[in-house]
Amino acid sequence: MLFDCAFEISTLSRTMYKDNSVKDLVCFSHLRWDFVYQRPQHLMSRFGKHRRVFFIEEPILHDGPPGWLFSAVEEGVVRCVPELPENSERIDDPELMTGLMDVFIDRWQCRQCVQWFYTPMMLGWANGLEPAAIIYDCMDELSKFRFAPTELVELERRLLNKADLVFTGGHSLYRAKKEQHHAVHEFPSSIDASHFREALFEHNDIAEQADLVRPRIGYAGVIDERIDLQLLEAAAGLRPDWAFVMLGPVTKIDPDTLPRRSNIHYLGMKNYKDLPMYFAGWDVGMMPFALNESTEYISPTKTPEYLAAGLPVVSTPITDVVRPYGELGLVEIASDAREFVAAAECAMKQDQLERLRSVDIFLAERSWDHTARQMNRLINRAIKGYRSRPVDALSQSHAVSATAQLAA
């Protein structure tokens, strides 16, 4: 069963492109489009201006037959969500996603395409497609995350064997992957600087935090096992006269484990377009990350976002924050609660104009537009070296089984 959303997306045909040789891009993502707006959304929205982009998410369960939910989310970008029946016996059927992908290919006439993977768990889904190029954009070491499927390591090995290009979201990941593939390219977290610069010109405090005391120390992002909750609670205890603002969804951890001091404020997930308004009312941007397996390779997108918004920044010693941000004096680094508070006090005394000059120089060539252009050049070269690849039937069955696990 096939559903189209209220948007008119049937116009996303090849005739809308002057150059019909431009290959469609099919992106397989473990992150949903309407989750925290980050690397996948930034890149796919830019690629969608020049080629059709299909953003395939993990399945959802429903009371009905297998099908698709399609919706237009950006210019040239179609969000594609598989619907699987709640019947557990059918969820494990490897023919389900095979059949759905056949429907997808027929619907959009996009069999030969650029295949873009954010997760190896969906590798088998692409078996019915003809790859003009295969891209693995490794933005996290997913095998280190809580509840990571056991099949992930083996499926990543297979994806690395198939891929034409591997992009990494930071220097730590680049070092980890460069010996595993012949064409690994480092693309650290980039920035839409003009969007976050709006914080510098926002003089009206957003109502939700208008009554909070100053100074305000803020965090924006996913709240999960990567956050050092003990450090957050201890820092809030050391400065009860400060407001600690936490924006973002709580995932993979029990919300009851969050510290509940009166000066820690959980405001929930916010729309990307509204973040500058929140940042405008903060005095420091913080990154209180725990030092554990799940943070070993992270390169937080929020680092350049805070900086572009004019905020001084304090972070725990995450490798890809220490270098280059800490070494260049753009971010204060602290290892425990007392150091964190002291670093925040120091950060608030910085000269804002001098900091903004340094930030502008550093971020000048780190825009998402620049990153997307560089990636696109590499993709086009890979397309010219197109070669056929054999179908990996085993990865198909593993991926469908893992999909059932994720959907549950």
Instruction: Identify the pLDDT of residue 6.
Output: 36
For residue 345, the SS3 value is helix
Single pTM value for the model? 0.87
Q: What angle do CA 138, 143, 149 make, to 5 degrees?
A: 120
Q: Which structural domains are found in the chain, ordered by start?
A: 2-190+369-407 (3.40.50.2000), 193-363 (3.40.50.2000)
User: What's the rounded Cα separation, in Å, for the pair 44 and 27?
Assistant: 8
Instruction: Identify the pLDDT of residue 151.
Output: 87
Instruction: Identify the pLDDT of residue 386.
Output: 60
For residue 55, the SS3 value is strand
Instruction: Identify the pLDDT of residue 2.
Output: 40
Helix (H) or strand (E) holding 131: strand 130-138
Instruction: Identify the pLDDT of residue 93.
Output: 62
Structure tokens at 321: 């924050």
Nearest to 287 by CA among 232, 324, 338, 249: 232
Instruction: Identify the pLDDT of residue 400.
Output: 39
End-to-end CA gap in the chain: 21
Q: Could you give the C-alpha distances from 308 to 89, 188, 251, in angstroms and in order?
A: 50, 16, 27
Instruction: Identify the pLDDT of residue 161.
Output: 96
Residues 6+ apart with CB under 8 A from 32: 57, 58
Neighbouring C-alpha atoms within 13 Å toward the C-beta of 373: 6
pLDDT < 70: residue spans in the chain? 1-21, 88-94, 386-408
